[in-house]
Chains A and B, each alone.
Chain A
Amino acid sequence: MADFLQILITAIAVGSLYALIALGYTMVYGILKFINFAHSDIFVLGAWTSLTASVCVITWLKLDTQQPPLWLAPVVLLCAMVVCGGVAFLVERLAYKPLRKSARLNVLITAIGVSLLLQNVGQLPGFTAAEKDGRSLATVPFGPSPSRMPSLLPDTSLISVPFPSGDPTIPAASVQVNLVDVFIFVSAMVLMFGLQHLVYRTKLGAAMRAVSFNTETASLMGVPVDRVMSFTFVTGAVLAAAAGFLYALKYPGLNQPAHEIWVLLGLKAFVAAVVGGIGNVRGAVLGGFLIALIEFMGMYLFSKYLDPLMGTNMGTNLRDVYVFSVLIVVLLVKPSGLLGTPVREKV
């Protein structure tokens, strides 16, 4: 029971991250009608900007490395959002905007190109941004070797619930709710509700939905279509930046930008968007949590029940299989995704 709850907590935290990234995929698809393959690279950029920014601020202001002050986290988050938003703005302006009127396939291929570009630029041995005793602590760009994110939050558990095992020979287990998990969940929720408000309660949001439904008619209402598109793109990137920041808090060992862990993470967030119904904001959130839940529950249940039965040890290795099986099932049963309802126009 205790280990089950513990896994559930992790799944919710990771699900928040998937949901945040999935929102970017879904918004860009909903409005610009293409899959932005470079989106997961913006997420990676968010994580690595968080690393660089925290190391730099800590070094420059000579802050305590073990227990940096609490204001550092929001400052670093802001840095990541600004950098990712800026890069996304440039990418959209230089790579996608000139292709507004060309075939979707061209844009898709361009997106793959942008993704490769970002991954490879990220691995260039950059210049030193912060150093101590002649040793480089952080470079821009990230560079080819893995790095470690300083811990910005105190490593405490907020709640610890003991679970007596019932059997005196087995020690009591306990469920820990860690600060970082709560922080991730709450931040993600705040951002998601903010987005929900933006999209469904503001004039700009109405313009976004109008553009998503029919670009041409939206322009006849006086909606500045190009600007709405750029804005949507940048908003998606800002959410991905937040996800990158939160990811780095939870998993501080950061790999090089082109590492397969990153690629898979982005891919799973994309699966979340598709499973929830691509183009649908609520669907992306639902998909994010669902995918994480299935991934972690799959690992847990397989390792606990199937592995001992079969004498194997592969429950954890199959984590990606669970995710992509869900994708296949959803695509077979409801191709438009869980919340995706194809709207038909009356003629």
Chain B
Amino acid sequence: MPEAANILELRDISVKYGAIRAINNVSFSVKRGEILTLIGCNGAGKTTTLRAISSMVRVSGDVTFNGSSTAGERPETLVRRGLCHCPEGRGIFANMSVEENLSLGAFTRNDRDAIESDRQRVFTLFPRIKERLKQNAGTLSGGEQQMLAIGRALLSRPQLLLLDEPSLGLAPQLVQTIFRIIREINQQGVSILLVEQNAHMALQVAHTAVVLETGGVAMQGPASDLARSDAVRKAYLGH
């Protein structure tokens, strides 16, 4: 089977929570190997879009991952297909050690040697994680938890990584680091769908950007174009 050019395609997807329409007819695609950033205000539907992609909510419309539909799949089966979702709020297992959190990232895999080399790669990206292996993950600082969440996600060897606000609550310097690492991960061949409040940084690292407004796509295009557009600058960059 030839590899699809788009790792992910959304066609007219809508999600309803009861009577509330959280997103409505959202369509965009993530090209293989790119970073696409999804920006928008609070409540615009960014998290919901990610949840729709990983089958955590009931979706109407088509989601195509790596050439085949995700209809009828569950989050855990999508992980095996190479889709990894780093949820909003990091989703650290605070009752377990850092090491156990990392092993859960590799839950679907059995190739011990490859897992070990991936672990070493994570330690190179986040030396801090390596120092804290035996520590209870709940006692990590917010930034360390974020690193752990990203490192853990990498251990599933994703083809597409969904990141929901990785810079949330981090000191400016750490934000820089996180974005640098996101770029590094991308350069190692992982496509990334990045949800961000920090539109300034997001538009810098991303190739493509999609702007969500009240549940629908307001704009999309190359990130550099959007960063220059007046509408985006006013609404999301604050100048």
Contact = CB atoms under 8 A, between A and B. Distances in A.
A213 B104 contact: no
Interface stretch (A14-22, A79-87, A126-134, A201-209): A201-209
Contact of B79 (A212, A216, A220): A220
Given A221-B79, A225-B76, A346-B138, A210 B93 contact: yes
Interface string A202-233: 01001101101110111111111100000000
B87 A223 contact: no
A167 interface: no
B94 interface: yes
A345 B94 contact: yes
A216 B56 contact: yes
Interface string A164-208: 000000000000000000000000000000000000000100110
Nearest to B79: A222
B56 A206 contact: no
Nearest to B104: A221
B238 to A, nearest CB: 25
B103 A203 contact: yes
B93 A346 contact: no
A135 interface: no
Interface in B107-159: 107-108, 138, 140, 142, 145, 152, 156
Interface residues of A, number: 23
Contact of A206 (B76, B104, B145, B152): B104
Band of interface residues on B: 20 to 34
Interface in B85-109: 85, 87, 89, 91-96, 100, 103-105, 107-108
Contacts of A70: none
A230 to B, nearest CB: 14
Given A210-B93, A343-B138, A345-B94, A219 B74 contact: yes
A4 to B, nearest CB: 40
A105 interface: no
A305 B142 CA distance: 57
B104 A207 contact: yes
B11 interface: no
A199 to B, nearest CB: 11
Contacts, number: 80
Interface string A99-122: 000000000000000000000000
B33 interface: no
Given A214-B91, A222-B156, A206 B96 contact: yes
Interface in B67-86: 74-76, 79-80, 84-85
B208 interface: no
Contacts of A333: none
B54 interface: yes
A218 B95 CA distance: 13
A210 B142 contact: no
B70 to A, nearest CB: 14
Contacts of B79: 220-222
A207 B106 CA distance: 11
B138 A222 contact: no
Given A220-B85, A221-B156, A207 B93 contact: no
Contacts of B107: 203, 206-207, 221-223
B80 to A, nearest CB: 6
Nearest to A228: B76
A40 B162 CA distance: 44
Contacts of A225: 76
Contacts of B138: 343-346
Nearest to B81: A222
Contacts of B100: 206, 209
B107 to A, nearest CB: 5
A343 B96 CA distance: 11
Interface in A137-158: none
Contacts of A224: 76
B94 A344 contact: yes
Contacts of A217: 87, 91, 93
Most buried by A among B76, B87, B140: B76
A223 B104 contact: yes
* 5 A-B pairs closest in CB distance: A222-B79, A217-B91, A222-B108, A219-B75, A221-B104
Interface of A: 203, 206-207, 209-210, 212-214, 216-225, 343-347
24 contacts: A206-B96, A206-B100, A206-B103, A206-B104, A206-B107, A207-B107, A210-B96, A213-B93, A213-B95, A213-B96, A214-B91, A216-B87, A217-B87, A219-B74, A220-B75, A220-B84, A221-B79, A221-B107, A222-B76, A222-B79, A223-B107, A224-B76, A225-B76, A347-B169
